[in-house]
Structure 1
């Protein structure tokens, strides 16, 4: 059995804009831990000074995360209480800290997460897009081919899709969404959430692109892109083209498989197609779909 250490790592979310969004519990933790591991000391100091908190800070960013994690583990093994914070929002989500948390679990050191701000979830809640099922994809890749490949792979993702994007690439990314996913897919741009210039705007992808191009101030600051999930078209109309495909496939496959493949090709209900075939044919199709 691994030794149990008394140290504790607190994962502390900080406001994504409005400083009033910090929780009382987060302030208590930041005030009472032995030290704070911050993504950016200067940035975190602004928050601490606003709430009159004085504590020892050390820098832990993507460049020094591995070395600093080893040092912090030693402090935690001595029984220290440490708070992990990012520049804004919930740590680890696109921010450093995962190496440290993995090491804590490996060395049996307690990790306590605090609830708090997260731009993706905050934007999703106000998007008006179905949100019971969603996938978070982080920042879109900066290279066009990689970005387009990713978007194309998500073309038929039925869950709501969430991305982060910067003002420098937003126009390119929305244009790629129109080309790789669907120009008529509903998209929401949530900009500067909780900040002074907060705005939430939704329309088809092509309309969003035109809307952004009309005014450069519409794509300043930090942005969340929310894309409605793919909705498969299940038509009840069985066309001649659909039946032609079915009869070709029926020469090579069982009734069940021919119906299944045809329904996927033409995006029709397999049950409707099966019923149509049975009703309108007097040949020897005596198999059932459920053999």
Structure 2
């Protein structure tokens, strides 16, 4: 069932999803609560059309999702969002299943440690190792992630290029957090129209996630990294998202660096709009599964 686009901002506010980000104090309290009472992360009991298995790697649960009754080609490592503080949710799992089925590929889903246990350096490094192992096992590997997971994915793509000589055939970023300094001068102009995210909470969560690294370190803010030599990148961003100014800048910088980039900007779209049960979300999901299909074998 599709939800009218104009109802989503109201639903976000009514359900209180924006409260975590409104103040640094609220973000801190939420992070402490989640650390005391971890949320469930497993897939829904009825995830149709796919087969799911799980292993544990270096203490991380890692799920493997494959289309039922089909021979998948290659692999997508999907890194979920949630502000580095929230677990993977049903909307992520539904998109993951859709990617597996429509892209006819294996999807590997790492459940990484959240703040304060997980920080940028350790989580990006482990994501890189998972991508390398997936590449050895399944062949071509692509990265995809939303929001915080988009940051992790783009940082990992840079490490894969620099430290392992691996150029990914595709990296798909959904409403990515590209610059955790929150210094883009366009952000204050977008903030009044964003019903979901807010800078104060984002500042707090970023300050914990960075660990001992500077906010401008590419493992934290991949917008500050070298973009040249990356494989093709596909970006989705809505204009009612305070991360949109940096997503737009990222697309421009990628193009200037000679990277093949496909930028989808949804007018009036909220943060993570491709995961929402709306008409624009449905269109975006079709584009995502198309982009993540394995390239033809040589």
Higher relative contact order, structure no. (Cα contacts within 8 Å, ≥ 6 residues apart): 2
Q: TM-score, normalising length from structure 1?
A: 0.29
Q: TM-score, normalising length from structure 2?
A: 0.29
Q: For the pair shown, which has the larger CA radius of gyration, 1 or 2?
A: 1
